[in-house]
Amino acid sequence: MKQLKTIAAATVVCAVAFASRADYLWTWHGDHNYFQASFEVTDQEMLPNSQFTSALFTNSISISSLDGVRYFGTNSFAIISGGFQPPLHLSLVLLDETTFSRLSVAVVPGQGSRISETSSLPFGNNFEDGFGATPKCLNQQRAHYLCSGQRC
List, for residues 54-94, the tens digit of each pLDDT value: 999 999 999 999 999 999 999 988 999 999 988 889 999 99
Which residues fall within 8 angstroms of residue 120, CB to CB, at 6 or more apart? 99, 100, 101
Q: How far apart are CA 45 and CA 39, in angstroms?
A: 12
DSSP 5-73: HHHHHHHHHHHHHHHS--EEEEEEEESS---EEEEEEETGGGSTTEE--SHHHHHH-EEE-TT--EEET
When the pLDDT of each residue in the chain is averaged and rounded to a whole number, the result is 81
List, for residues 23-47, the tens digit of each pLDDT value: 999 998 888 889 999 999 999 999 9
Check residue 3 and give its pLDDT: 54
Please state the domain extents for the chain: 2-146
Q: How far apart are CA 109 and CA 85, in angstroms?
A: 9
